[in-house]
Chain A
Amino acid sequence: MATTTESAGAKPRGKAPAGERVADWADGRLGLYSLAKANMRKIFPDHWSFMLGEICLYSFIIVILTGVYLTLFFHPSMSEVTYDGVYAPLQGIKMSDAYASTLHISFDVRGGLLMRQIHHWAALVFVAGMFVHMFRVFFTGAFRKPREINYLFGFLLLFLGFFDGFLGYSLPDDLLSGTGIRFMEGAVLSVPIVGTYISFFLFGGEFPGHDIVPRFYTIHVLLIPGIMLGLLVAHLILVFYHKHTQFAGPGKTNKNVVGMPLLPVYMAKAGGFFFLVFGVIAAISALVSVNPVWSYGPYRPDQVSTDAQPDWYMGFAEGLIRVMPGWEINAWGHTLQLGVFIPLTVFPLVMAFMGAWPFIESWATGDKREHHLLDRPRNKPVRTGIGAAWIALYCVLLLGGGNDIFATRFHMSINAITWFVRIGMFVIPVIVFIVTKRWCLGLQRRDRDKVLHGRETGIIKRLPHGEFIEIHEPLPQGVLHTLTAHEQPAPLEIGPTVDKNGVERKPGRITKLRTKLSQGLYGEGTQIPKPDVEEFKEIQSGHGHH
């Protein structure tokens, strides 16, 4: 009896609301309240570029939802069947069960075509979104400590996204996708020593065999998405744990995060954004056809269509393959097909450069501090130039990947385009780097000018002695702060080659390389000195109108 009175006294009379009781139940088992205390009103800063990652997250969810639907109808089998479905042009034709079931989804299942279209469109948006998101992070320096590992997780997601996309569009076993797989076989065969064995193990014998579609299917729907889901969850946990980055501004420092709380604003905006992304992709899928496999026909190794193109994100690898000269070395009874093997190695290396950049930069700068304030791309001209050069290389190779399309559409010589890409892939990134860097420096000068001399008002004033001047208005405090908030690190120096005891000290190769990189990033000609206080005061007190 005593216990009843005690517990009745501890709690208010009557039952708690139903929602609270459910929460109590969950808290007793999951520690819900402590979790919510830390996160429910968590602050998220607002900037348009922060939604790019959300697009990736949402398109990934859409891909999974539609992908599960497609597995209910797709037969990952290469057994030969004779098509007798509703699509008249292919009736009576022999094809694999995989292709026949894809036709079935497209023509017999109501809404099946829409699900296929949404699946493919969402996958294209997913990869494109990851690209743009990665470059947002790159150009603003959001990858710096403590976020290097999270950048790496994101990079791995991009790389896996590439491959899962390739595997996915290989599954229907149509003429186009089969040609893509044939290309993959040729690429695998070019690997020295083990290539032939890998190819036979991959295909279960000679190309194409009967195993590749079921094998790709398992990797496409289970293995890679499973890894990606794990990486994605880790990526999001780290975003929460590190808290979001923000641009410098009034009240926004490296020690705080300014924005609006998860509940309700961010939840409504981000949650709503999922529906916006899904809605737009559904509408695109209603209007624009993607990968109409029925028009290609079933795969036959001795047939091909012209204009064969991979999905856009593979166009870069395709370009490497197309413009590479056909170098082949025959010696000691073996063949080394460099013409295929070099592109096969260059592709991951060019990608890996982006993945490794945070580590290269932190090593070269020796910067071990935490960075939560974003860089404006103009304030890091060399990094911005390198990013732009990388994108330029990508675009040049994409052009190389579509050399036949450009040649036929614009009536140009395919040989000329190929040669343009062969030379351009080395020259154009350099030009783009120089232009971007100068552009950034120009913008820095503009900022400096605005800080020191104020904003042009457009008001012309005539002075007593007849001179006309334009009135410059000093910037508000907040803008002054924003434009001068960035850091301008000095580069590393080799230092004296003789130490204070007179003993000669020889810098090692690594030290030299590191100093060189640092000089390249922050040395001469890489930043315009930002205005200092004395300079500013002198100009303001003296002749403020200039």
Chain B
Amino acid sequence: MSEETLPSERDAHAGELAENPFADPGLPPHQPRRQDIDEKAARSSERTVALLFTLSMLATVAFIASYVIFPVDQNVYIWPIGWISALNFSLGMTLGVALFAIGAGAVHWARTLMSDVEMPAERHPIEAEPEVKAQVLADFGDGARESQLGRRKLIRNTMFGALALVPLSGVVLLRDLGPLPEDKLRHTLWAKGKLLINQNTNKPLRPEDVQIGSLTFAVPEGLEQEQEDYQEQIAKAALMIVRIAPENIKDKQAREWAHQGILAYSKICTHVGCPISLYEQQTHHVLCPCHQSTFDLSDGARVIFGPAGHALPQLRISVNDEGYLEALGDFAEPVGPSFWERG
């Protein structure tokens, strides 16, 4: 159905020039360049090319010299960039010139001295001639018949079965890439009685350490940077602590889970897990710097803007007998980004 709607090949261009003003006049005659007719100009081009190649050689020598001369930690002032590594600058520039000059020489040579006569070459259809196609089909038929694959169904079916099953071994081997998730994403290091350790001072926090308008980061007591799974634990347990006057906390449960207005929320964004670090003192909004999800800490850390799907989990805290802030248990819900089993 398509053949009629498509224009026939070269419809507008059939016929002689006399009757068709749009016909193809054919390749225009070659226009000689200056270098083709003036040997002086050609020699000048030759000198330019040779000069570029010589420049490249000099630049390579300069590259080696820079490598030897400049100490790796020396900085130089280059206007308008400023202070940069002398070695990086000199190596890069000399290498750049050495390479660029070769390219410029070759291109100049090709453009001015090599023949620029345009030549046509015939194209041939990609599709095979009908005879070739017939021959190939016949050959394939012979081969297929001789293999008896079509006739002996038992062989065919078992072969397909075997070939389909054998890659399973490879898939099975991937099993030990990692452990099963189980409930690992549901638990953090926080537990009843764990003290809140200030991340900056490494000391347990007291309520009076947390002022209104400040943002404090805390980790659970006992988490040491030396331990093997420090990164995995901090990725879940990181905590941010703010203080809001209790009457300004809009969410009732948040107020109860806080201690005298001191609120402890997971620092890990519920969108895709970036640590939240921007706090607006006046509004008590926190902003994730990665994708700008914004949470209102005065209202149960609910999402007020951005791509996060749910509020930041809150850690229930209190004060122990010695006057230090402590957790009353683990987070009630999984921290960080959502996952299928989260529920």
Contacts and interface: CB of A to CB of B under 8 A. Distances in A.
Interface of A: 42-43, 86, 94, 107-111, 113-114, 117-118, 146, 179, 182-183, 185-187, 189-197, 199-209, 211, 241-243, 250-261, 264-265, 268-269, 271-283, 285-287, 289, 300-308, 321-328, 330, 333-340, 365-370, 372, 403-404, 414-415, 418, 451, 477-478, 480-481, 484-485, 487-493, 495, 518, 522, 530, 532-533, 536-537, 540
Nearest to B110: A268
Given A282-B96, A283-B100, A334-B340, A202 B13 contact: no
B306 interface: yes
Contacts, number: 383
B290 A308 contact: yes
Contacts of B193: none
Contacts of A211: 178
Given A183-B274, A258-B120, A268-B107, A200 B28 contact: no
Contacts of A114: 87-88, 91-92, 95
B292 interface: yes
A372 B125 CA distance: 11
A451 to B, nearest CB: 8
Given A258-B121, A272-B104, A301-B235, 8 more contacts: A186-B336, A187-B272, A268-B106, A302-B238, A322-B306, A323-B307, A334-B341, A337-B339
A285 B22 CA distance: 51
Contacts of A337: 309, 337-339
A502 B106 CA distance: 71
Given A179-B290, A537-B21, A186 B272 contact: yes
A326 B302 CA distance: 12
29 contacts: A86-B72, A110-B91, A111-B88, A186-B337, A200-B180, A200-B181, A206-B232, A208-B232, A250-B24, A256-B123, A259-B119, A272-B110, A283-B93, A286-B90, A301-B234, A302-B199, A307-B289, A308-B290, A323-B307, A326-B309, A328-B338, A340-B338, A366-B5, A367-B6, A418-B305, A481-B22, A484-B12, A489-B7, A492-B1
Given A114-B95, A326-B308, A533-B21, A195 B103 contact: no
A126 to B, nearest CB: 17
A345 B23 CA distance: 50
Given A275-B102, A492-B5, A286 B88 contact: yes
Interface residues of B, number: 110
B140 interface: no
Contacts of B273: 182-183, 185-186, 207, 301
B interface, over-half SS: loop
Contacts of B107: 268-269, 272-273, 276
A31 B95 CA distance: 38
Residue from B26, B106, B179 whose CB has the most chain A CB atoms within 10 Å: B106
B174 to A, nearest CB: 7
Contact of B97 (A242, A279, A335): A279
Given A253-B24, A335-B339, A325 B307 contact: yes
B154 interface: no
Contacts of A111: 67, 87-88, 91
Nearest to A328: B309
B271 interface: yes
Contact of A335 (B2, B67, B236, B338): B338
Given A368-B2, A477-B21, A340 B307 contact: yes
Contacts of A305: 289
B217 A302 contact: yes
